[in-house]
Amino acid sequence: MELRVLAVGDVCGSSGLQYLERELRALRRKHNIDFCAVNGENAAVVGITPQQADRILDAGADVITLGNHSYNRREIAEYLEDSRYILRPANDSPLYPGRGMGVFDTKAGPVTVISLIGRCNMAFGPDNPFLLAERLLKQIDTRMILVDFHAEATSEKLAMGYHLDGKVSALWGTHTHVPTADNQILPQGTGYVTDLGMTGPIYSVLGVRPEQSVSTFRGGLSSRYETAPGPCKLEGVIFTLDAGTGRCLETERIFCHDTNSPRG
């Protein structure tokens, strides 16, 4: 039996969340998706609220993964403790609320999802994700394992892909919000892509107003990021898994956008 998994890139701001709500269920039907993971750490631009998490799940996500902005909205803390359908990075401090791994039922059997965060160029010091991944895998008895690796450096993401090749079913990168063209099956059978991309405004710099980023890079005073206006897009990758072996059989990049956008 095969399992079709859709991994959706970081949801950015209110417009990205609204676009996800409009499009995700139709995408699931069109592509026969059995399980969907959505990175939601930017739903509030920086962070996510309980209400936004509920909306992502109601939109059709089976699990929400997070990243370096997991705790920017402190009201999410209790939600992280109470809900098994949202995962913060497993290698964050054990004192932080929530969990970094979960097991979910699907038509093809149980699937384990792991959320990890990188250390290269990040402004804090999580536990070593490579060593933690090794420890977590010893605790897992499902054949199908999915990993969201939220990291800045492409080299760190690629290294993790090869480190876990043949040990997990699929690993995708998030955080940089720019889709990469390297979705593939690694030599030992793990589906991989360096970055899914994002869900949010097309005409933006990683989801925010371009003029804000331009001002920052010119040396101006920084201001609180605002979601860019205009048409939106959704980017992600479909991984088709063999439920019997846990190996990835196929990868397919997904891109959809507002009809009023000239992008194709």
User: 199 has which bridge partners?
Assistant: 11, 234
Q: What is the pLDDT of residues 139-185, one digit of tens each?
A: 999 999 999 999 999 999 999 999 999 999 999 999 999 999 999 99
Tell me what the mean pLDDT of segment 239-264 comes to. 87
Res 262 pLDDT > 70: no
Res 197 pLDDT > 80: yes
Q: The domain 2-257: what is its CATH number?
A: 3.60.21.10
Determine the Cα–Cα distance for residues 202 and 256; give it in Å rounded to an integer. 11
Which pLDDT score, from 0 to 100, does residue 123 have? 65
Q: How far apart are the first and last CA of the chain?
A: 34
Helix H or strand E segment including 22: helix 13-30
Which pLDDT score, from 0 to 100, does residue 264 have? 45
User: 6 has which bridge partners?
Assistant: 36, 238
Share of the chain above pLDDT 70, in %: 97
> Higher pLDDT residue, 160 or 223?
160
Which pLDDT score, from 0 to 100, does residue 175 have? 96
Which pLDDT score, from 0 to 100, does residue 221 have? 77
Tell me what the mean pLDDT of segment 93-97 comes to. 93
Average pLDDT along the chain: 94
129 Cβ neighbours under 8 A, 6+ residues apart: 89, 91, 116, 117, 118, 119, 149, 151, 160
Determine the Cα–Cα distance for residues 41 and 158; give it in Å rounded to an integer. 22
Q: How confident is the model at residue 260 (pLDDT cuts 50, 70, 90)?
A: low
Which pLDDT score, from 0 to 100, does residue 229 have? 87
Cβ–Cβ < 8 Å for 206, 177: yes
* pTM of the model as a whole: 0.94
Cβ–Cβ < 8 Å for 201, 213: no
Determine the Cα–Cα distance for residues 36 and 61; give it in Å rounded to an integer. 5
Determine the Cα–Cα distance for residues 100 and 139; give it in Å rounded to an integer. 13
Task: Report, as residue numbers or ranges, the catalytic residues.
Answer: 69
In three-state secondary structure terms, 39 is strand
> Higher pLDDT residue, 204 or 98?
98
In three-state secondary structure terms, 123 is coil
Share of the chain above pLDDT 90, in %: 84
Q: What is the pLDDT of residues 70-85, one digit of tens each?
A: 999 999 999 999 999 9
Helix H or strand E segment including 136: helix 129-137
Q: What is the pLDDT of residues 127-139, one digit of tens each?
A: 999 999 999 999 9
> Higher pLDDT residue, 96 or 258?
96
Cβ–Cβ < 8 Å for 48, 76: yes
> Higher pLDDT residue, 203 or 217?
203
Cβ–Cβ < 8 Å for 106, 68: no
Q: What is the pLDDT of residues 20-43, one digit of tens each?
A: 999 999 999 999 999 999 999 999
